[in-house]
Amino acid sequence: MLGVMVSDETRTTTSTSIRNAAEPENENGVTATRAWVTRLVVVGIVLSALNLRPAITSLGALLEEVRDGLGMSGTAAGVLTSVPPFCFALFGVMAPRLARRFGVGAVVCAGMAAIAAGLAIRPWTGTAAGFLAASALALMGIAVGNVLMPVVVKRWFPDRVGSMTGLYSMALALGTAAAAAITVPMTGALGGSWRAGLTVWAVLAAAAVVPWIPLVRDRGAGGPRRETPSARGTSATGERAGALRITRSRTAWALAVFFGLQATAAYVTMGWMAQIFRDAGVPAGTAGLLLAVTMAMGVPLAFVIPRVATRLPHQGPIVVVLGACGLLGYAGLYIAPAGGAWAWAVLLGIANCAFPLALTMVGMRARTGAGVAQLSAFAQSTGYLISIPGPLVVGVLYQHSGGWGLPLALMAGLLLPQMVVGVLAGRDRTVEDEAAAR
C-alpha cells in the first residue's frame, strides 16, 4: 500500500489541520501520517504530472494552424518551441527557494493555477507576443512542477522512489500523448477553431489545483521525513551549503548535461515531429496520432524503466539502449519519413524515455531530501538552459535549408554526447560524497 500505517495516537487526534496530520511517534523522528493525506498526495502527483506537457504537445499538433493564424515565420515558430526549456531553466531554479519559504504544497498549487490561467488565456490574445507571454505563464507553472515532483516523491515515498517516479512519469507520458492524439480531432469537434482546441486543456489543469489546496498551509509539505539522525544532520548541512556544493560534483554536472540533451530531443520531437510527417505528405490527423504514439511509448516504459534502473548498480546500459533507438529513429525519418512512419514514431518514443530515467537518477544520486531538491533544481535548470537553442536551431535550419536533412543530422549527432554523459551520470555515487571530497 502507498499509505503509511497510522498510529493509535494519531487515530485519536481531532485536529483537522494538515499541519498536524503527521505527528511524531518516537524520539527517533519516525512519523505517522494519515492515510488519506498520503492518498491525496498520490492523486496530486498524478494530476500534476498529467498537466506537465499538454501545453507543449497540444501546440505541436496545431503548430501550422497557429502559425497561420498569428502570422508566424518558421524562425518565429522555432522561438516559440524554444520557450519551454527557457522557462523551465529560468523558473525551475527558483522552485526550491519558493518551496522553503511558502511550502511545497503551496508552490505546486500555485503552479497548477498558473498552468490553467496561461492555457485559458493564450489562444485568445490575438498576437504572437501575447500568445508567447501567456504560454510563458503556463510554462512557469510547469517549471516548478518539474523540479518539485521528484522532491515530493523522495520525501513522501523514500522507500519507493522507483515505483512512484514510474507512476509520475507514466502519468506525465499519458498527458503528453493524450494532448498530441486528441487535440486535432477535438478541435474538429469544436467547430475547427484551433483556439477552442487549445483552450480545452485549461480544464485539466484546473482540476490539478484541487488536491493541493488542503496542503497549501502545510509549510513542510514535502511529506514525512523518514531519516536517521545522521541523515537529518547531512540534510541540514546540505541546505546550509547551498547550490555551490552541488556544482562541485561531477555526477551533478553529468546529470545536468544528460538532462539538457534529452530535453533538446524531447522538445524538438514535441514541437516539430508532427510537422516533419505533414511535410512528408501525412495527413494532419495522422501526424498527430504519430506524435501521440511517440509520447504514448512513455506510458508503459516510464513505469518500467525507473523500477529497473533502481535495481541496477549502474544505469549506463539503459542510457545506451535508449540512445541507439533514437539514432535508428532519426535515420528512418530521413530515409523514409512516410513509409516507415509508425516504426520511427515507436523508436523515438523509446528514446524519449531518457526523461524518466533522468528523474530516477536524480533521486538515486542524492542521499537526502535536501540533496534531491538541490540536485533536481540544478540538473533541471542547467539542463533546460542547455536545451534552449535546440528547437530554435532546428527551426532556422528547416527554414533556410528547405528540408529536414540538416535538422535530423543535428539531432542524431547530439545523441552521441548524450550517451556519454548518461553513462557517467549512471555511476553508483552520490553528489553529497563528491561535493565533500572536493
**Whole-number pLDDT of residue 31:** 46
Any idea where the domains of the chain sit in the sequence?
33-224+237-437
Residue 33: which H helix or E strand, with range? strand 31-33
Asked if 267 contacts 60 with a C-beta cutoff of 8 angstroms, the reply is: no
Report how far residue 274's alpha carbon sits from residue 73's, in angstroms, rounded to the nearest whole number.
17
Domain range 33-224+237-437, its CATH number among 1.10.390.10, 3.40.50.300, 1.10.3720.10, 1.20.1250.20: 1.20.1250.20
Model pTM score: 0.69
- At residue 34, the pLDDT reads 61
Confidence of residue 33 (pLDDT cuts 50, 70, 90): low
Give the cell for residue 105. 504544497
* pLDDT given for residue 148 in this prediction: 86
DSSP 23: E
Q: What are the tens digits of pLDDT across the range 348-366?
A: 999 988 988 998 898 888 8
- Non-local (6+) Cβ contacts of 110 within 8 A are 141, 144
Q: What is the pLDDT of residue 438?
A: 63
Mean pLDDT of 85-113: 84
Higher pLDDT, 218 or 55: 55
Q: Is 90 exceeded by the pLDDT of residue 416? A: yes
Q: Is the pLDDT of residue 103 over 90?
A: no
Query: What pLDDT score does 408 carry?
Result: 93
Identify which of 26-40, 131-145, 424-438 has the greatest average pLDDT: 131-145
Between 11 and 276, whose confidence is greater?
Answer: 276
Average pLDDT over every residue of 270-277: 83
Report the pLDDT value the prediction gives residue 224, as an integer from 0 to 100.
Answer: 46
Q: Which of 180-189, 202-211, 389-398 has the highest mean pLDDT?
A: 202-211
Q: What is the pLDDT of residue 78?
A: 67
166-173: average pLDDT: 82
pLDDT for 242-269, tens place per residue?
444 788 889 999 999 999 999 899 878 8
For residue 33, list its beta bridge partners: 22
Average pLDDT over residues 29-58: 78
Mean pLDDT within 94-121: 88
Q: What is the mean pLDDT of the chain?
A: 79
The percent of residues above 90 in pLDDT, for the chain, comes to 24
SS3 assignment, position 22:
strand
Within 13 Å of residue 165, how many CA atoms lie on the same side as its CB? 30
Please report the pLDDT score of residue 114 as a whole number.
Answer: 94
d(C-alpha 89, C-alpha 395), whole Å: 20
Q: Which grid coordinates are listed for 410?
A: 543535428
